[in-house]
Amino acid sequence: MSKWLLTHLLPYFIAPLYWLLAKTWRLEERGPPQVLENYVRRAARAPCVYAHWHGDELVLVAYYSFRKLAVLSSLSKDGSLMARTLELLGYRVFRGSSSKGGARGLIGLIRAVKEGAQSALAVDGPKGPIYEVKPGVIELARRTGQPIIPVRTRCDRAWYIPRAWNHSYIPRFFARVTVEYGQPMHLSDLPETTAASCEGVKIALDAIPGQPPAS
């Protein structure tokens, strides 16, 4: 099968199958009450920037589906497959990453958040190093004036992706899945330097329990 067919047809199989898998998960949301009320559960959710580790992405892709979140997808061929899959799951997708085309992708996210959308960034993506926060999330928060909200996931049973640099995993059928948020980080909470702000986001993420590594 040609790469063109894989890129253009495979998402129509991946998206519904993954959505159906996620529908079997027993979901629990945790976090500060004001975050759950203002950013997560209300119909008119306030704009913000969700910050998460790359390893949580496969859980969050299903969890945030059909909420019209603004996200980045890389310019690679794999990124094209991911972008189409995300679009079918109800995301606003902008192409670019921290390694190529990042400025164009970030401009798209800035515009979307300024228009009132929520955004989500894998802050140690696209290729690591793992658990090292890149400056894009700080720039997005500063340019939009919206808070960064750290979020992590965990579950009681999962399939782990072999040799994945980001320790990614997929909850199994009927798994208990927890999505936990931290306190919002507003502009006034961030240090003046980007490096210190990145460290602050890392500390906030590390304070939330995540998925145990594969045994």
Please report whether residue 215 resides in a domain: no
Question: What pLDDT score does 125 carry?
Answer: 78
Number of domains forming the structure of the chain: 1
Please report whether residue 212 resides in a domain: no
Cβ within 8 Å of residue 34, ≥6 positions away: 184
Encoded tokens for 158: 């999962």
163 φ/ψ angles, rounded to the nearest 5 degrees: 60, 20
**CA dist 5 to 8, 69, 214, Å?**
5, 27, 33
pLDDT tens for 158-211 read 999 988 999 999 999 999 999 999 999 998 888 989 999 999 999 999 999 999
Please report whether residue 32 resides in a domain: yes
**CA dist 152 to 69, 79, 94, 159, Å?**
17, 23, 23, 17
Please report whether residue 211 resides in a domain: no
Please report whether residue 159 resides in a domain: no
Please report whether residue 51 resides in a domain: yes
Query: Where in the sequence is the domain holding 116, given as residue range(s)?
Result: 3-154+164-170+178-206
Cβ within 8 Å of residue 36, ≥6 positions away: 29, 181
1: pLDDT strictly greater than 70: no
Question: What pLDDT score does 213 carry?
Answer: 87
Question: What pLDDT score does 186 carry?
Answer: 95
Please report whether residue 97 resides in a domain: yes
pLDDT tens for 83-116 read 999 999 999 999 876 545 467 789 999 999 999 9
**pLDDT, mean of residues 144-155:** 98
> Can you list the alpha helix ranges (DSSP code H) found in 132-176?
136-144
Please report whether residue 213 resides in a domain: no
Distance between CA atoms of residues 167 and 146, nearest Å: 29
